[in-house]
Structure 1
Amino acid sequence: MDLKIITPVLLDAYLGELPSGMRQAFESLEDAALSTPNFSFYISVASVFSSKIEGEAIELDSYIKHKREGIAFQPDYTKKIDDLYGAYLFAQDNPLNEKNVKEAHRLLGRHLLASAWQGKYRKQNRYVATDDGRIEYVAAPPQQVESEMSRFFEDIALLLDKPMEIEEVFYYASMIHLVFVKIHPWNDGNGRCARLIEKWFLAEKLGQKAWYLQIEKMYYLHHQTYYNNIRALGLEYPDLKYEKALPFLLMLPNCLNAPVR
């Protein structure tokens, strides 16, 4: 494969670190008993914990009561999570490509961004700062975002066409997540979208059971490690060192051992 941006540089090292039995663990996944034709427990888990990573004050039990049983809460408590839930449902029914990722961002961004920036790449400089105001990452320059995202989706198309074992699928899903969040193409919603695309790729390659993986919950429970592993690549986009990405890539297989509710 002639990949342009989603690098295979760590694939051999990654495969050498993986636990055995990934295929068996994946095939044993089942939907939760709480799910109904109109309610997905695992999409709720994904939406809640992906939002909690971004600082949303939402609890899973409350959200399940809201979504499954129709119990009303203050709109501010649930609206961003409802938007993300809708984006996950959209991803389940549509192929992974640039057009559909933009639509998923429009859906999840309805209460994050002005409508003019929902599903639209940023035109501004962006950086990630700590709570005390220290810059810890400078994203791709705005004039490069369109071209970097074009290369990103060209690589995804190649990867979707390539037969892979499950171990290789997990590697590229994590690398897709990492490359996307480092480009940082939106004005907001980058983390939520990166985690959605990661699972979307897994589902395209491995099937419906990928939606039952509690990936977002695993990242939330280890969110300091998650952020540290993302930071490890460097401060500025042109100088990123993907050879330092192995600790991040090795997080995803841990979701196969997550307890199932």
Structure 2
Amino acid sequence: MLNELKIIPVELLENYCLQVDNDLQLKFENLQDAEISTSEFSFYTSVSSVYSSKIEGEDIELDSYIKHKRFGIEFLPDYTKKIDDLYFAYDFAKANLLNADNLANAYEFLSKHIVAKNYQGKLRSSNMYVSTPDGRIEYFAISPFKLQKEMEKLYYDLTILLSAKLNINEVFFFASMIHLVFVKIHPFNDGNGRTGRLLEKWFLAQKLGENAWFIESEKMYYENHQKYYENLRILGLEYEELDYKKAMPFLLMLPNSL
């Protein structure tokens, strides 16, 4: 079945499985929700939303956000609104199957205060590049004229993988690879990183169950964000020339978050 995949590379899978800890299954099974969580509030969804936003430069602290979300302490709306949007997108993902329509909906929710309304939930129609804080271009994404076909390939592969019987090492491999391929396609005008990290965890949860939502991957990516971006950069400058054989350092970050 894996030989039917159209866009997600599998060449590194065997070597990846050899490098992942043998106790990955045990570590995953031992994950549990925090005591502070309630039926109306999730501590780990707060962690995911805060740290995924901090990777993108949002000035928000976890302690303050928990006070806002769990205990109703008010802050200025600009301080919490983007994180609230992302929290809502995570909640949406928990309650819905992963597919093309629902991913578009999740992006619409999380981008509410990131892009203009007419761009929310929509693929970009212009060229896209990623630049460093000092203005240096470090990546050119796929042309908008080829974007739809690449996303169709990704959604096709998602359908294959969601129905495939995979062991836990394979699930983690493909979750990271889906994250990586998605952000390299860079399908939206903004919010691609947030969406890619949500997509990764969404896939894990669909394959392995609710413990996936307790993984602090976004926090780990933030605490190692220089390495996170370095591992993204090493694949190449342009979409058409990406070398996924160099993806192992990125792929190993997710299991290391356990």
Into which bin does the TM-score normalised by the smaller protein fall? over 0.9
Q: Following TM superposition, by how much is the alpha carbon of 1:42 offset from its aligned partner in structure 2, in angstroms? A: 0.3
One-letter identity of the residue aligned with 1:185: P
- For the residue of structure 2 that corresponds to 1:146, the secondary structure is helix
Is structure 2 residue 55 aligned with structure 1 residue 33?
no
What is the aligned partner in structure 1 of residue 166 from structure 2? 164
Distance 1:133 1:115 in 2: 27
What are the superposed Cα offsets for residues 180-217 of structure 1, whole Å, 9 maximum, x if unpaired? 00000000000000000000000000001100100100
- 1:17 is displaced (CA, Å) by 0.8
Counterpart in the other structure of 1:205 = 207
Which residue of structure 2 lines up, in the alignment, with residue 259 of structure 1? Answer: none
Amino acid in structure 2 at the alignment position of 1:49: Y
- Unpaired runs of 5+ residues, structure 2, are none
3-state secondary structure, aligned to 1:173: helix
Distance, in Å, in 2 between the alignment partners of 1:18 and 1:106 is: 34
Q: Deviations over 1:102-122 (max 9, x none)?
A: 000000000001110000000
2:78 maps to which of 76, 81, 86: 76
What corresponds to 1:13 in structure 2?
15
Q: Offset of 1:20 from its aligned partner?
A: 1.4
Structure 2 residue aligned with 1:186: 188
1:28-177 → structure 2 map (5 Å cutoff): 28-177=30-179
Alpha-carbon distance between aligned partners in 2 of 1:50 and 1:131, rounded to the nearest angstrom: 18
Stretches of 4+ moved more than 3 A in 1?
none
Q: Deviations over 1:47-102 (max 9, x none)?
A: 00000000000000000000000000000000000000000000000000010000
TM-score for the superposition, normalised by structure 2? 0.99
Between 165-174 and 1-10, report the one with greater CA deviation.
Answer: 1-10
Letter in 1 for 2:193: G
Q: Which residues of structure 1 form unaligned runs of 5+?
A: 257-261
- What whole-Å deviation, never above 9, does each CA across 1:169-189 have from its counterpart, x for those lacking one? 000000000000000000000
Which amino acid in the other structure matches residue 231 of structure 2?
N
Cα offset, 1:138, TM superposition: 0.2
Match of residue 239 from structure 1:
241
Cα drift, residue 133 of structure 1 = 1.2
Cα distance in 2, alignment partners of residues 140 and 198 from structure 1: 21
CA distance in 2, matches of 1:41, 1:145: 36
Could you tell me how far apart the structure 2 residues matched to 1:19 and 1:29 are?
16
Deviations 1:131-174 (A, max 9, x none): 12111000011011111000000000000000111000000000
Per-residue Cα deviation, 1:20-64 (whole angstroms, up to 9, x for no partner): 101011001110001011000000000000000000000000000
Counterparts of 2:68 and 2:134, CA distance in 1: 35
Q: List per-residue Cα deviations over 1:199-252 (Å, max 9, x = no partner).
A: 000000000110010010010010000000000100000000000000000111
Amino acid at match of 2:223: L
Cα distance in structure 1, aligned partners of 2:141 and 2:11: 21
Q: Hey, what does 2:251 align to over in structure 1?
A: 249
Q: Match for 1:59: what amino acid?
A: E
Provide the aligned C-alpha RMSD in A: 0.5
Identity level (%): 60
Question: What is the Cα deviation at residue 9 of structure 1?
Answer: 1.1
Q: How many residues align?
A: 256
- The DSSP-based 3-state class of the residue aligned with 1:56 is coil
CA–CA distance in structure 2, aligned partners of residues 131 and 158 of structure 1:
38
**After alignment, is 84-93 or 5-14 more displaced?**
5-14
| Mean Cα deviation higher: 6-15 or 227-236 | 6-15
- 2:239 is matched by which residue type in structure 1? Y
Q: How many Å apart are 1:13 and its aligned residue? A: 1.1
